Chains A and B, each alone.
Chain A
Amino acid sequence: MEKFTRLTSVAAALPQENVDTDQIIPARFLKTIHRTGLGKHLFAGQRYDAEGKENPDFVLNKPAYRKAGILITLDNLGCGSSREHAPWALLDFGIRCVIAPSFADIFYNNCFKNGILPIRLPREQCLALMEDASHGENARLTVDLEKQEIHRPDGEVVTFEMDPFRRQVLLEGLDDVAQTLKTHEEAIRAFEARPSRAWVPSTKQASRPQSVIGAKGETA
Chain B
Amino acid sequence: MQHPANPRTLYDKIWDDHVVKTLDDGTSLLYIDRHLLHEVTSPQAFESLRAAGRPVRRPDATMAVADHNVPTSDRSQPVEDPQSRLQIETLEANVKEFGVPYFPLRSRQQGIVHVVGPEQGVSLPGMTIVCGDSHTSTHGAFGSLAFGIGTSEVEHVLATQTLLQKRSKNMRVRVEGDVAPGVTAKDIMLSIIGRIGTAGGTGHVIEFAGSAIRNLDMAGRMTLCNMSIEAGARAGMVAPDETTFAYVKGRPFAPQGEAFEQAVAYWKTLATDDGAHFDEEVVLDAAAITPSVTWGTSPEDVLPITGTVPRPEEFADPAKAERIRRTLAYMGLEAGQKIAGTPVDVVFIGSCTNSRIEDLRAAAAVLKGRKVAEGVRAMVVPGSGLVRYAAEQEGLDKIFREAGFEWREAGCSMCLGMNPDKLSAGQRSASTSNRNFEGRQGPDGRTHLCSPTMAAAAAVTGTLCDARDLLKPELAEGAA
Chain A residues packing against B (C-beta within 8 Å): 15-18, 20, 22-23, 26-28, 30-35, 45, 50, 74-76, 79-84, 87, 102, 104-106, 109-110, 113-114, 163-165, 176-178, 180-181, 184, 187-188, 191-192, 196, 199-204, 206-215, 217-219
Closest Cβ neighbor of B134 among chain A residues: A82
CA distance A218 to B254 in the complex (A): 14
CA distance A176 to B52 in the complex (A): 13
Known: A199-B266, A203-B34, A204-B60. A184 touches B29 (CB 8 A): yes
Segment among B80-88, B302-310, B460-468 that sits at the interface with chain A: B80-88
Residues of B within 8 A of A15 (CB): 319
Residues of B within 8 A of A188 (CB): 20, 29, 31, 160-162
Determine if B108 and A212 form an interchain contact, defined as CB atoms under 8 angstroms apart: yes
Residues of A within 8 A of B109 (CB): 210
Determine if A76 and B202 form an interchain contact, defined as CB atoms under 8 angstroms apart: yes
Interface bracket on B: 35 or more
Whole-angstrom distance between the Cβ of B4 and the nearest chain A Cβ: 18
Segment among B255-263, B285-293, B334-342, B372-380 that sits at the interface with chain A: B255-263
Determine if B159 and A23 form an interchain contact, defined as CB atoms under 8 angstroms apart: no
Determine if A199 and B148 form an interchain contact, defined as CB atoms under 8 angstroms apart: no
Determine if A31 and B83 form an interchain contact, defined as CB atoms under 8 angstroms apart: yes
In the complex, number of A-B residue pairs with CB atoms less than 8 Å apart: 229
CA distance A191 to B61 in the complex (A): 15
Residues of B within 8 A of A28 (CB): 417-418
Determine if A208 and B252 form an interchain contact, defined as CB atoms under 8 angstroms apart: yes
Residues of A within 8 A of B40 (CB): 30-31, 83
Segment among B272-280, B434-442, B450-458, B470-478 that sits at the interface with chain A: B434-442
Asked if B203 is an interface residue, CB under 8 A from chain A, the answer is yes
Whole-angstrom distance between the Cβ of B188 and the nearest chain A Cβ: 20
Asked if B54 is an interface residue, CB under 8 A from chain A, the answer is yes
Residues of A within 8 A of B108 (CB): 210, 212
Determine if B199 and A180 form an interchain contact, defined as CB atoms under 8 angstroms apart: no
Determine if B202 and A203 form an interchain contact, defined as CB atoms under 8 angstroms apart: no
Determine if B323 and A16 form an interchain contact, defined as CB atoms under 8 angstroms apart: yes
Whole-angstrom distance between the Cβ of B422 and the nearest chain A Cβ: 8
CA distance A15 to B199 in the complex (A): 17
Residues of A within 8 A of B59 (CB): 203-204
CA distance A18 to B324 in the complex (A): 13
Known: A177-B160, A204-B59. A213 touches B357 (CB 8 A): yes
Determine if B254 and A31 form an interchain contact, defined as CB atoms under 8 angstroms apart: no
Residues of B within 8 A of A34 (CB): 43-44, 47
Known: A180-B164, A203-B60, A217-B358. A187 touches B29 (CB 8 A): yes
Whole-angstrom distance between the Cβ of A163 and the nearest chain B Cβ: 7
Known: A18-B198, A208-B252. A180 touches B47 (CB 8 A): no
Which of the residues A74, A81, A199 comes within 8 Å of B263, measured between beta carbons?
Answer: A199
Residues of A within 8 A of B72 (CB): none
